[in-house]
Amino acid sequence: MKRLKEMTALIKIRIALLSTLSAVTVFVVAAGGFSVKSILFACSLFILASGSAALNQYQERKKDALMERTRRR
């Protein structure tokens, strides 16, 4: 359970879900309806957003350690 909590914090799940939802909404409207491509697009985009968030966390770990607000992340 702790590991799942750490993973959701690492990938910033709320931000990844919301950005995926907004992009998929536009994709569905532009395509004229929901399809299998929409699901593939949503999954791919969610994985991309999650990976980007995790990479960002990794890259900023040294800077975050110096700031009071982000020291314990």
Predicted confidence (pLDDT) per residue in 17-71, tens digit? 999 999 999 999 999 999 999 999 999 999 999 999 999 988 988 887 788 877 7
Task: Give the per-residue pLDDT at 21.
Answer: 96
Rounded-to-integer distance, Cα 27 and Cα 32, Å: 8
Nearest-CA neighbor of 52 among 11, 3, 8? 11
Rounded-to-integer distance, Cα 17 and Cα 68, Å: 28
Task: Give the per-residue pLDDT at 65.
Answer: 79
Secondary structure letter of residue 67 according to DSSP: S
